[in-house]
Structures are given as structure tokens and as C-alpha cells.
Copies of this chain bind each other. A is one copy, B any other.
Amino acid sequence: MKLIIDCLGGDNSPEAQVEGAILAIRKRADLNIILVGDEKAIRAILDKHKVGADSRVEIVHAPGVITGNDKPIDAIRLKKDSSMVKSISMLREDESIDGMVSCGATGALIAAATLRIPRIEGVRRPALCPILPSMTGGIVGICDCGANVDSSPEMLQQNAIMASRYLESAYRVRKPRVALLNVGVEDEKGDDLRKDAFKLLKKTEGITFVGNMEARDALNGDYDLIVSDGFSGNVLCKSIEGTAMELMKKIKKDIYSKTKYKMGALLMKKMFQEEKEFMNYQNYGGSVLLGSEKVVVKGHGSAERVAVRACIDQAYRMVRNNMNKKIGASIAACLPEEEK
């Protein structure tokens, strides 16, 4: 198996990317890695860890960086020497490469992958699926989380299909329980998009649709997958992330306000560290762009090497378990009669 690691664009790049790749190849004997970025910098990190040229690691020089300040479409058109554009081009052109991991700008990565990598046959639009921890110790996927700001009922149906195959392939979730993000749990809730999607999901084969759900129950462990349009899925993800972060920040600040609290917190230090780790979504892998013919994983901008390794491992499992083939078969089975 061969995977590309885009080594530029993240807050800790290229160290985190290169070191994450080293961790990954040590774990998986059949994994080959292509590191794309500034060759000198990458070489220095490999040397430091005594990873030689005869190993399963290859370097491709592409020193340009696309940042969050670049306009996605302009950036992928103009920054041809960037590690991201180079990675995407290689992924498209080289049949021996199975997937890529990037911690670079999300908008540019989605645009580049959507425009340059062919879609799985029958897929209307690729969708982004991040993974969050549920409060019962499991995980929950949210799809779509922002790849498409406009969605049709058929796209929501395809999000459910693609992300079900993803949870099975990458996380061994059996029969993922799929719910539709809505303003209430009753069957007839929501706008036309939700009403039509509900009817479609109910008759979709190959998924376990359990009905509508409300945002307040996203983390309670009742659902493995939340299906939504890209706009409200983005709102859901970011508000969970923001609320957890702001709340822990407030608790930390309040602890420092009194000596008594500081003493108490000292006794609970390990617990607070565990809470922090629990909520650190980097531990759960990156967001996957589902529906593209090659596996594309978007790691968090602030990913450290362990998080990068998790993303690589995620990509490995998807490729190893033939996820995209399974997505293709499921999508084909659910296409409207006239498109079959």
C-alpha cells in the first residue's frame, strides 16, 4: 500500500507529518509512504530519526504552502509548486497510490480533491465526515460537515450510505445507527429537505436508519452516524468543539481563582488530563472526504505526530478494507431506476 503525506500546511509541519509517518510505517509492515514538501527539511527530520533512503519512505520536493488565507480555487490553480496541489496531482495520476493525508487548509483540500480526483461512480458530491467521541465511550460520525453548503435529499441519502461503509471499514462499527439531524425527533419534523430525506432514508437498503434526532443528543451514544446537510453539520461540529473548549477553559480559570480550588484540582489532576484527552478529537483521527475515488483524510491543522499517525492509520484501514469498492456497490444499489 502506498500513501501520500502532505507535509506542509499544518501548525506543526513538517515535524508532525514526518514523525507521524515514521510511527505509521513502524506499525504497518506493508505500508509505503511518499512525503511531499520541502525536501531538505523532510530529509533533516528523517536523518534525526535515522530513517534511511532504503526504507519505505520516499520524498517528493514541493516547497509551496497553501494557507487558510488563500482563496481555495485560486490557490489550487496558481500554487502549482505547493505540497497540497502536488499531492493531489500525484494521487490522481499514479495508480499505485491509494490515498493521502493532509493537515493543510480545509477549503483548498476539499476543492482540490473534489475537482481533481474522480468521484466513485454514482456519487453526486463528496462529503466530509469527522469523528467525535460519544459520552458513552464510543464514537459518532457527522456527515456532511461542510464539503457542500447546498444539499439535496439524495445527497443526504448518499452521505448516510458512504459514512456507514466508512464506519464499518475504519472503525469496525457493526450496522451503524444512522439518524437525521433535525429540529425534533418526530417523523414529520423539519423543512422540505429534511422531510424528503427522511422518506428516502427510510427506504434505503444497506443502512440502519433510526429516525430524526436533535442536536442536543449528538454525543449521548444513541447514534453512530448523524446525517446532515453541510451547513448545519458544520454548525453542529463546531459548536460541540467550541462549547467543550470554552467550558474547560472556564473551569481552568475558575480553579486558579482560589487556593482551595487549586488544592482540589491537584487531587484531580489525572482526571482533568483524561477529560482533556477524551475531548481531544485528534485522538479519533481526521475527517474523511467520502465519495472520491482515492482515500483523502483531512487531519486537524494543529495535529501533532500522534494525530498524524492516527490519520495515516485511518487511511490504511479504509484502503485495506476496500471501503471505496463497498461504497460504490451500495451507491449503485440505491440509485434511482432511471440512473441504473
**Those of A219-269 within 8 Å (CB) of chain B:** 219-220, 230-232, 234-247, 249-251, 254-255, 258, 260-261, 263-268
Interface presence of A150 (CB below 8 A): yes
Instruction: Contact check, A254 vs B274: say whether CB atoms are below 8 A apart.
Output: yes
| Interface range, A side | 35 or more
In the complex, chain B residues whose CB is within 8 Å of the CB of A235: 181, 183, 215, 232, 235-236, 239
In the complex, chain B residues whose CB is within 8 Å of the CB of A243: 218-219, 239-240, 243-244, 247
Interface presence of A275 (CB below 8 A): yes
Distance between Cα atoms of A255 and B274 in the complex (Å): 12
**Those of A92-126 within 8 Å (CB) of chain B:** 107
- Report A242 CB to chain B, min CB distance, Å: 3
Interface presence of A153 (CB below 8 A): no
In the complex, chain B residues whose CB is within 8 Å of the CB of A239: 215-216, 218, 235-236, 239-240, 243
Interface presence of A58 (CB below 8 A): no
- Report A253 CB to chain B, min CB distance, Å: 9
Interface presence of A47 (CB below 8 A): no
In the complex, chain B residues whose CB is within 8 Å of the CB of A251: 271, 275
Instruction: Contact check, A249 vs B149: say whether CB atoms are below 8 A apart.
Output: no
* Pick from B216, B261, B267, B274: contact of A242, CB under 8 Å: B216
Instruction: Contact check, A247 vs B247: say whether CB atoms are below 8 A apart.
Output: yes
Q: 1/0 contact trace for A144-169 toward B, CB 8 Å?
A: 00100110000000000000000000
* Pick from B107, B183, B250: contact of A149, CB under 8 Å: B183
Q: Known interface pairs A191-B149, A231-B190, A235-B232. Does A254 touch B240 (Cβ–Cβ under 8 Å)? A: no
Interface presence of A39 (CB below 8 A): no
Interface presence of A11 (CB below 8 A): no
Distance between Cα atoms of A250 and B278 in the complex (Å): 11
- Report A227 CB to chain B, min CB distance, Å: 13
Distance between Cα atoms of A274 and B257 in the complex (Å): 13
Q: Known interface pairs A230-B183, A239-B218. Does A268 touch B274 (Cβ–Cβ under 8 Å)? A: no
Interface presence of A277 (CB below 8 A): no
In the complex, chain B residues whose CB is within 8 Å of the CB of A265: 264, 268
Distance between Cα atoms of A144 and B191 in the complex (Å): 14
Residue of B nearest to A243 (CB): B243
Interface of A toward B, CB cutoff 8 Å: 107, 135, 146, 149-150, 181, 183-184, 190-192, 194, 214-220, 230-232, 234-247, 249-251, 254-255, 258, 260-261, 263-268, 271, 274-275, 278-279
28 A-B pairs whose Cβ atoms sit less than 8 Å apart in the complex: A135-B249, A135-B250, A149-B183, A183-B231, A183-B235, A215-B234, A216-B238, A219-B242, A219-B246, A220-B242, A231-B232, A232-B232, A235-B239, A239-B239, A239-B243, A243-B243, A243-B247, A244-B247, A250-B275, A254-B271, A254-B275, A258-B271, A260-B267, A261-B267, A263-B264, A264-B266, A264-B267, A267-B267
A-B contacts besides A254-B274, A255-B268, A261-B268, 4 pairs, CB < 8 Å: A135-B246, A135-B249, A216-B242, A263-B264
